[in-house]
Structure 1
Amino acid sequence: MMNHRRRLLFVTLSNIGDLVMTTPLLEALHLSYPEHLIDVVADARSAELLRPCPYLGRLIYRDKKAGWRGSWALVQTLREQHYDVAVDLRTAFLTLFIRCAQRGIKRRGSAAGAHAVQHHFTALRPILGPHVDIPPARLWLDEAAASAARELLSDLPGGRRLVVAPGANWPGKIWPIEHYAALIEMLRRVIDSVIVVGSKADYALGERLRASAGQRLVNLAGSTTLLEAAACMAGAHAFVGNDSGLGHMAAALNVPTLTVFGPGQPARYRPWGAAAMVLQAPNDGLRALQPTVVAQALSDQLARTSLPQ
C-alpha cells in the first residue's frame, strides 16, 4: 500500500565517511519537518547505512558511472513524486528537473565552516531555519545486523573491546601495521579483546595483528556488511583507525574514537562527534608517529568520556 505522507528529498554523498557526515543534516531535516518521510538518493556502496533510519521513505540508488543516461533515468524516477523540499549536497542540477516547492543546493564555494558538517549547515540554513542546532552524526542498527554481530563476536571474551581499522583507501593514509601491533600490546592490561574491521583488502593486515594478539582478537575484515561492522563496533570501549569511513561510523555510534591522520585535512574531515578525536602525524609522516604517543592520546580520550576505563 502506498504511503501518502508528505516527503522531502535528500541527495547525499557517496563515500562512507562523507555519507556519515551528512547524517547530522538528515537528522536536522527530520527535526524541522517531523511529519515528512525523507527519500534519499545515495550510492549503493554506502546507502546500506541508512536503511534502518526510522523516517526513511525510499532509498534510491545513483550510479555515478552510469553517465547521462543514468542521470536522466534517475530524474525520471524522482519526477514520480512531488517533494515539499529537495536538498542536494552532490550536484547543482538534479533538483532543477524534479517537482518540488523549495530547493536547497550546496554549491561549491557557497558556504563557510571549519568542518564539512558546518559547511553543509551554513549552505542550507534557509531550509532549516535559524534555530536548528547541529545534531551529532548517527547511525541506526537493525536486529538483523545486531544478531549477526552477536554471532561474529561470540568467541571473544566480554568486557572492554578495542576496535581497530588498520586499512585505508590508499597507502599514504595507513599507519604501519607493526605500530598497531605495538599499540595493542601496550593496551593489554586495559583491553580484554580486539575486533579488526575493514574490507577484504585489509584482511592480511588483520591476520598480522592476530598473529601477535592471539585468541583475544577476531579479524572481521572483509567478512561483514557495513551494518554488521557497525553493530560489531557498537558499545566498544574504544576505536583506533586510519582516516577512513570506519572511523566516522564509530564516532556516529558514540564510541570513543581516535583517528590517525597522515596527509589530509582533519579540521575539515575528522569524524564528527563529542567522542571523536584525531592525531595527525608530524609532517604527515605516519611512520614517525610512535605507538606510545597514540596510546597516551587514547588514554586521554577515554579519560574525557563517561565510559569506564
Structure 2
Amino acid sequence: MDSRGIIRSNRILVIAMRFLGDVLLTTALIRSIRLAYPQAQVDVLVFGNTAAMLEGNPDIDRIVTTPNKPHWTDYCKLLLNLFRHYDLAVTTQTGDRPFLYALLAAPVRVGVVPAKNATGWWKRFFMQRWTEFDDVNTHTVLQHLKLADLLAIPRSYELVPPQIGAAGRLAERFEFVTANSGYAVLHPHPQWTYKRWTVAGWVEIGHYLNSLGFTVVLSGGPAEEEVAYVADIAAKLPPGTVNLAGQVSLAELAYIIGHAELFIGPDTGITHMAAATGVAVITLYGPTNPVKWAPWPKGYRRNSNPFQKVGCQCINNINLIQGEGGCVPCHLEGCDRHRQSRSRCLDELLPERIKTAVRQLLVND
C-alpha cells in the first residue's frame, strides 16, 4: 500500500458469481477500479452463462468463467488458473466459493462478508479489508461501491451494458432498428414466475403501443419455455410485431433496447440492462424490495438509494410501478413462498397504470 492506503496492484481479479443482473450491477465497481488502476490487468470471474453481460466491456481485460455446477475437474482447472495469479482479489459476495477463490487467487483480499450475527464471521480474518452485506437498506450498486471505498479509490456510478462492434449488421437483419417509425421493447418473461405480470396485461399494452404508432418488439432469451411464452404473446398482437426471443445476443439486445423509444419489463436482469443503456424504462415490481434491487437510473451519481421501499417512483430514466396491496414489497418469493408461485400483487396490477406511465413519458418528451 502507498502512503494514502491505496492498494498497489498490477493484476486484479473481481469475483461476481451470480445472475445476469447481478453481474451488470458490478460494472460500476469494475469501472471504478479501471479508472483508479489504468495500467493494471483487470479480470472478472463469473459463471459461464452470465459472461455475455460483460461482452465488449472496455474496463475488463479478461473474463474468467466457471460452470454454475462444476465437476471436480472444473474446480481443478479453475484453481490452477487462479492460484496466486493476482495481486488483489475483490469479491462482491459473501458465499463460500467466491471467498475460497479470492483466498487462493491473491495475497490481498477485499470483499463483502456476512453480518456479525450470521455464519461466516471467520471470513473477516482472511480479508485485509471488508464490509458487511446489507440485503435490505442498501442498493446493490452502492453495496459494491463500498468496496471502492475500502480500496481508497474514487467511485464511478456508471453501469456498463454489453456492447457490440458492428451495429450495421444488426440493422441489416432487422429493418425496424433503422426505420423512421419508433419502436418500443417489451420484455415479458423474467426467470422466476413470482416476478411475472399477466399474459393478458402484456397483450393489452402491446395493442396500446401499436395504437400509438410504435412498432412493438418483444424480447426474450433462448430457453425453450421463454421462447414459447413470448411466442404466445406475439401471436395475440397486431401484424408487424417483432419477436426477438432467442434470436439475438445479449449485446445485440442491449443495442436494440438502447435505440428504442421505450422499454417495459419486470424485475429481471434485462430490465437492469435496459436502464444502463439510458432508454426510458417502465418497470413492474411486486415482492422485490426496490431499495435493494430497483434498476439503477442512468446518470444517478449519489451515495444514497435512488428508490424508497414503497410507492411508484420516477428517477431519471426509470419509472417504477409497484404492484397492488398493502403487503408490497414482502421480500418473499411469491404468495406461496417459492420461485415458481404467482404473486397476487402483480396478477392484480391493471394495464391502465402502465398506460398512464406511457402517456406521461410521451408528454415529457
- What SS does structure 1 have at the residue aligned with 2:61? strand
2:64 and 2:255 mapped to 1: Cα distance?
23
1:123 and 1:58 mapped to 2: Cα distance?
20
Q: How does 1:141-180 map to 2 (within 5 A)?
A: 141-144=163-166, 146-154=167-175, 157-180=179-202
Q: Report the TM-score, using the length of structure 1 for normalisation.
A: 0.86
Counterpart position of 1:10: 14
Bigger mean CA offset, 153-162 vs 33-42:
153-162
2:81 to 77, 80, 84: 77
Amino acid at match of 2:230: G
For residue 12 of structure 1, report the CA deviation from its aligned partner: 1.4
Contact 1:16 1:245 in 2 (8 A): yes
- What SS does structure 2 have at the residue aligned with 1:93? helix
For residue 189 of structure 1, report the CA deviation from its aligned partner: 4.7
Which string of whole-angstrom CA distances, capped at 9 and with x for unpartnered residues, describes residues 223-262 of structure 1? 2222222222121111101111110111111111121112
Counterpart position of 2:100: 93
- What SS does structure 1 have at the residue aligned with 2:352? helix
Counterpart position of 1:26: 30
CA gap of 1:73–1:149, structure 2 versus 1, over 3 A, is same
Contact 1:32 1:128 in 2 (8 A): no
Amino acid at match of 1:138: V
CA gap of 1:301–1:15, structure 2 versus 1, over 3 A, is farther
Contact 1:166 1:202 in 2 (8 A): no
Amino acid at match of 2:60: L
Amino acid at match of 2:210: R
Q: How does 1:103-114 map to 2 (within 5 A)?
A: 103-109=109-115, 110-112=132-134, 113-114=137-138
1:43 and 1:26 mapped to 2: Cα distance?
17
For residue 16 of structure 1, report the CA deviation from its aligned partner: 0.7
Q: How does 1:193-272 map to 2 (within 5 A)?
A: 193-200=215-222, 201-272=225-296
CA gap of 1:67–1:211, structure 2 versus 1, over 3 A, is closer
Amino acid at match of 2:52: E
Across the two proteins, how many residue pairs are aligned to each other?
296
Amino acid at match of 1:285: C
For residue 292 of structure 1, report the CA deviation from its aligned partner: 0.9
Counterpart position of 1:300: 360
For residue 117 of structure 1, report the CA deviation from its aligned partner: 1.0
Amino acid at match of 1:94: Y
Which structure is higher in helix share? 1
For residue 186 of structure 1, report the CA deviation from its aligned partner: 2.4
- What SS does structure 1 have at the residue aligned with 2:203? helix
Bigger mean CA offset, 13-22 vs 104-113:
104-113
Contact 2:13 2:44 in 1 (8 A): yes
Q: Which runs of 5+ in 1 are unaligned?
A: none
Counterpart position of 1:126: 150
Amino acid at match of 1:137: L
- What SS does structure 1 have at the residue aligned with 2:143? helix
- What SS does structure 2 have at the residue aligned with 1:138? coil
Contact 2:55 2:251 in 1 (8 A): no
Contact 1:28 1:128 in 2 (8 A): no
CA gap of 1:72–1:287, structure 2 versus 1, over 3 A, is same
For residue 124 of structure 1, report the CA deviation from its aligned partner: 4.5
Q: Which runs of 5+ in 2 are unaligned?
A: 1-8, 116-131, 299-316, 326-343
Which string of whole-angstrom CA distances, capped at 9 and with x for unpartnered residues, describes residues 55-86 of structure 1? 32221102231156533432220126333x32
Which string of whole-angstrom CA distances, capped at 9 and with x for unpartnered residues, describes residues 151-185 of structure 1? 34225743321110010112221111111121122
